[in-house]
């Protein structure tokens, strides 16, 4: 066996490690939860508000920016640049999943699963459907989706783990 074939087999076996396969499963599960929720809300919404209770509504909005509508811009160049940057960040996070310890792998998988869901929407719809509207009387938080929940949760976990480990 040539040295190239040994290198290739070693890299492939690393790619298919059990902990990495678990991470791929987490990413796929988050992606599909996000897709199903967005498909349901797009099909049933018809631009009307769905009242859940006094604090939560489902109200479809289309976001061309990044998380929570930040950096929304009408310029195609800006939109494409942001989309490319998001794709690059996803690639870096996938690389980190392959190299990290199990706890970090799972955290990165939450972020990647949500990011891939929103990244997919940027290509299919040229914007991201957000629909969860949390509010109190006239104060409304940013409208978000399931992918945003997992991205935010992953980032919070990443910061929390980092703070806990730095204390030790």
- Give the C-alpha distances (Å, rounded to integers) separating 94 from 19, 20, 23, 104, 166: 13, 10, 10, 11, 24
- Asked if 43 is an active-site residue, the reply is no
Distance CA 88, CA 40 (A): 29
What the block records as the tokens of 150 is 């997992």
57, 135 in Cβ contact below 8 A? yes
Return d(Cα 93, Cα 150) in angstroms, integer.
14
Choose, from 34, 121, 133, 148, the residue flagged as catalytic.
Answer: 148
Question: Is-catalytic flag, 148?
Answer: yes
Q: Which of 34, 59, 130, 133 is catalytic?
A: 130
Residues with a known catalytic role:
130, 148
């Amino acid at each position: 066996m040539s040295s190239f074939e040994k290198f290739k087999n070693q890299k492939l076996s690393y790619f298919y490690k059990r902990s990495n396969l678990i991470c791929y499963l987490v990413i796929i599960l988050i992606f599909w939860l996000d897709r199903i929720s967005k498909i349901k809300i797009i099909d049933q919404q018809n631009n009307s508000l769905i009242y859940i209770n006094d604090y939560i509504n489902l109200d479809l909005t289309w976001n061309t920016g990044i998380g929570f509508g930040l950096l929304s811009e009408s310029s195609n160049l800006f939109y494409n640049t942001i989309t490319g940057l998001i794709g690059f960040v996803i690639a870096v996070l996938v690389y980190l999943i392959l190299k990290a310890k199990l706890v970090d792998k799972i955290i990165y998988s939450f972020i990647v699963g949500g990011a891939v869901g929103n990244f997919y929407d940027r290509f299919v719809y040229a914007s991201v459907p957000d629909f969860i509207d949390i509010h109190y009387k006239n104060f409304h938080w940013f409208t978000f989706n399931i992918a945003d929940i997992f991205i935010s949760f992953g980032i919070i976990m990443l910061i929390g783990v980092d703070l806990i480990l730095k204390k030790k």
